[in-house]
Amino acid sequence: MYAAVVHAFGESPRYELLPDPAPGDGEVVVDVLAAGLHPLVRAVAAGTHYTSGDRLPLVPGYDGVGRLESGEAVYFSGLVPPHGSMAERAAAPRSSLIPLPDGLDPVTTAALVNPMISAWMALYERAELQAGGAVLILGATGNAGRAAAQLALLRGAQKVVAAGRNAEALRELSGMGVHQTVSLDASDEEVAVSLGEVAGDVDAVIDYLWGHPAEVALAAVAGARPDPAQPLRWVAVGSMAGPSIALPSDVLRRINLDICGSGAGSAVPDRVDASLRSLISLLPAAEVRTEAIAVPLAEVHQAWNRNLATGQRLVFCPDLIASGTPV
């Protein structure tokens, strides 16, 4: 079979012939229709993710949409380096297979599910946000933050505050129904005032940035709580702005604050599976905006580092030829 193959961490994959995968216990071979290029996938291929390991060469790709021998289309996930989904065929955990509902496009599904399930786990498993609750998305102008904002709206949040640097993306989020936006492209003082005015009463913060923006936001939100005893769950999902923060100990005593993370290490497998099934069942009727860009897998080397606009995601398709016409 043909696959995307990474020979050295940090290098773009090459399109090469590999032996077909041999399924292990509890695995099934799927014919891959589409596999998304998510930040997680990039990080694993770069050797910078905590799941990268040291086994090379590797086939990138954590999840995808495929077809079983029976002809049924399924979403699959849970592939572990060095075995990935960016190949003509993949050996996927049988327990991860979720039938695709009617009306779901494989390319869009491959682009959406990873950022949406990350948002789902942060919002509803870690932050335990309830319908009618209020949430601040810190880093909402990236693809993952945008997904979190849309999901919170879809599931009935009473207030969604989106904070980010990209002014155009913030305007788009307002058009999607986000209740308040805050530009982080301002001085610390201006950001703190804005966040204090609109996010002081939130129940949860989903933080894709960490670093200095999190320090500013935490001080602003903590200082603006109308009721210090109101629970605030701060969920660290990413670290786009820095790997660490300075955390004054008094903030932990001044307000009712819990800080936790959301990622592979904190995920309970049974809850991930249940959440994935709930999410995929919602997608056919959901108005979630994304621009999935289908690219032939044969062009993986050239396309890997393509610059994308907010809301866009590359999806590699083994059965797409260079002209963009399905085989």
Looking up residue 312, the CATH number of its domain turns out to be 3.90.180.10
50 and 24 assigned to the same domain: yes
Please tell me what DSSP assigns to residue 134.
Answer: E
- Contact between 153 and 133 under an 8 Å Cβ cutoff? The reply is no
For the chain, give the percent of residues with pLDDT over 70.
Answer: 98
Which of 89-98, 156-165, 289-298 is the least confident region? 289-298
Mean per-residue pLDDT, 296-304? 97
- Contact between 12 and 5 under an 8 Å Cβ cutoff? The reply is no
Q: Is residue 107 part of a domain?
A: no
> 11-31, pLDDT tens digit by residue?
999 999 999 999 999 999 999
Domain count, the chain: 2
306 and 163 assigned to the same domain: no
Mean per-residue pLDDT, 261-266? 86
- Contact between 107 and 85 under an 8 Å Cβ cutoff? The reply is no
> 207-229, pLDDT tens digit by residue?
999 999 999 999 999 999 999 99
38 and 65 assigned to the same domain: yes
Q: Is residue 186 part of a domain?
A: yes
Q: Which stretches of the chain are assigned E, i.e. beta strand?
A: 2-5, 14-17, 27-36, 64-67, 73-76, 89-93, 98-99, 134-138, 159-164, 180-183, 204-207, 232-236, 257-261, 291-296, 312-317
Confidence at residue 50, expressed as pLDDT on a 0 to 100 scale: 78
Confidence at residue 268, expressed as pLDDT on a 0 to 100 scale: 82
Average pLDDT, the chain: 93
Confidence at residue 325, expressed as pLDDT on a 0 to 100 scale: 40
Rounded to two decimals, the pTM is 0.86
Mean per-residue pLDDT, 90-116? 94
Residues with Cβ within 8 Å of 101's Cβ and at least 6 positions away in sequence, in order, are 280, 281, 283, 284
Q: Is residue 325 part of a domain?
A: no
Confidence at residue 321, expressed as pLDDT on a 0 to 100 scale: 66
Q: Is residue 13 part of a domain?
A: yes
Q: Tokens for 45? A: 């291929």
254 and 121 assigned to the same domain: yes
- Contact between 235 and 208 under an 8 Å Cβ cutoff? The reply is no
If you search the block for the tokens 């001080």, which residue do you land on?
A: 219
61 and 152 assigned to the same domain: no
| pLDDT of residue 324 exceeding 60 | no
Residues paired with 259 in a beta bridge: 234
CATH number at 119 reads 3.40.50.720
235 and 313 assigned to the same domain: no
Q: Where in the sequence is the domain holding 72, given as residue range(s)?
A: 2-100+290-317
